[in-house]
């Protein structure tokens, strides 16, 4: 049976100078409201031991608009400002539930520039999107169509460090599960091979960051030579950001292709519960681990499996997948990282990664 899911469709768009100016003002106001609300919440929590609610923060926003000092907050749409307070409220809820760290202040240079508009703050007519405080619709590059009849419930506008503008449309979409298949697969994540499958196949890691490392280093050297605060430094920073954006886009595209294929071909997918945050503390491997994007790989598998009626099983991180013989079940005492192939006492010769993937599958099916 088809399920109704919320799905975001992201597109590039090219604003007019007037639209770019309006959005830049909105981004600045969103950051200001978020930081001021966070400051007041922190003060109340630290000095009084009191938690400030969203309703109180919203009332304070109204006072700021009337104070005279922050009159400009009334010049932009109020919806993105209210949404900033809601995001802050969610951040504190996650913090108190011990699901996340304490909310951090938004930086003018490092934080993502974005503004979220709900249904009352935009107009959607015949595939044309017009935001509040704007007279003309956005010039969106429709790289793929929205589902037929879908209307966005939330619109998020953002600008990345490379100067590209994006709009993300959240819609409700009916997704039908894929027909059941008999195949199951275990996955051993790696660096040389992005994923080794229990079938023996190795999906190579394109190493996008490594391939563009020379171009990135050249752009970073040029940035280091520019005088701080100069227009040339801003241009050089933009070049660095564009290289990073190219790496990120190519990596994400590859991960989408890999995960979509795995979900379509297998009914049960078993993966290890890798602690990427801990693993990147190894400075010798941190760059390669980050380039492989294991966390994003698993995240994509999770939501695609949920959408299409597949099962993703996460095997305990302490499961000795590399030390265990997938043929006879005997456990080796040691298995250094340098050992890529080994022979068990039962006579079976194992490829380290393929053997680990087979054990991950067996453990996953046992838990399934």
| Rounded-to-integer distance, Cα 17 and Cα 27, Å | 15
Our answer to whether residue 353 is catalytic in this structure is yes
φ, ψ of residue 269 to 5 degrees: the values are: -120, 120
| Rounded-to-integer distance, Cα 13 and Cα 316, Å | 43
207 sits in the region (left: phi over 0; alpha: psi -120 to 50; else beta) called left
How many beta carbons lie within 10 A of that of residue 269, not counting itself? 28
| Rounded-to-integer distance, Cα 79 and Cα 250, Å | 34
Which of the residues 116, 209, 291, 353 is marked catalytic? 353
Our answer to whether residue 75 is catalytic in this structure is no
> What does each C-alpha distance from 258 to 177, 195, 255, 296 come to in angstroms?
19, 9, 5, 12
Token output for 267: 């009914």
Which of the residues 116, 188, 209, 291 is marked catalytic? 188
| Rounded-to-integer distance, Cα 89 and Cα 81, Å | 13
| Rounded-to-integer distance, Cα 168 and Cα 315, Å | 34
Which of the residues 272, 311, 316, 343 is marked catalytic? 272
| Rounded-to-integer distance, Cα 74 and Cα 65, Å | 6
Our answer to whether residue 333 is catalytic in this structure is no
On whether the CB atoms of residues 7 and 179 are closer than 8 A, the answer is no
Orientation angle between helical segments 54-66 and 17-43, nearest 10 degrees: 120
Active site residues: 188, 272, 353
């Amino acid at each position: 049976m088809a399920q109704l899911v919320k799905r975001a469709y992201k597109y590039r768009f090219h604003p007019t100078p007037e639209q770019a100016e309006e959005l830049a003002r909105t981004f600045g106001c969103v950051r200001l409201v978020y930081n001021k609300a966070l400051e007041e919440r922190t003060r109340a929590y630290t000095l009084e031991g009191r938690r400030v609610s969203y309703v109180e923060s919203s009332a304070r926003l109204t006072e700021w608009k009337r104070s005279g000092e922050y009159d400009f907050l009334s010049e932009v749409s109020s919806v993105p400002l209210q949404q900033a307070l809601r995001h802050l409220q969610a951040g504190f809820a996650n913090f108190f539930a011990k699901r996340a760290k304490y909310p951090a202040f938004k930086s003018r240079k490092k934080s993502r520039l974005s503004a979220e508009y709900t249904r009352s703050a935009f107009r959607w007519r015949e595939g044309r999107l017009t935001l509040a405080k704007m007279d003309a619709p956005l010039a969106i590059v429709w790289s793929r169509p929205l589902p037929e009849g879908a209307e966005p419930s939330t619109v998020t506008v953002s600008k990345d460090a490379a100067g590209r503008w994006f709009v993300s449309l959240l819609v409700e979409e009916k997704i039908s599960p894929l027909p059941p298949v008999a195949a199951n697969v275990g996955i051993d994540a790696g660096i040389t091979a992005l994923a080794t499958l229990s079938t023996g196949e190795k999906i190579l890691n394109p190493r996008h960051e490594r391939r563009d490392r020379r171009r990135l280093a050249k752009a970073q050297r040029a940035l280091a030579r520019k005088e701080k605060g100069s227009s040339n430094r801003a241009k050089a920073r933009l070049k660095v950001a564009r290289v990073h954006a190219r790496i990120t886009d190519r990596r994400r595209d590859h991960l989408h292709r890999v995960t979509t294929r795995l979900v379509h071909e297998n009914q049960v997918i078993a993966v290890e519960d890798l602690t990427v945050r801990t693993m990147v503390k190894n400075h010798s491997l941190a760059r390669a681990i980050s380039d492989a994007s294991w966390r994003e790989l698993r995240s994509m598998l999770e939501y695609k499996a949920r959408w299409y009626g597949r099962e993703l099983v996460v095997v305990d991180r302490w499961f000795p997948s590399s030390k265990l013989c997938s043929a006879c079940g005997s456990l080796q005492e040691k298995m250094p990282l340098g050992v890529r192939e080994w022979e068990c006492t039962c006579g079976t010769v194992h490829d380290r990664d393929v053997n680990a993937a087979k054990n991950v599958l067996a453990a996953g099916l046992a838990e399934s």
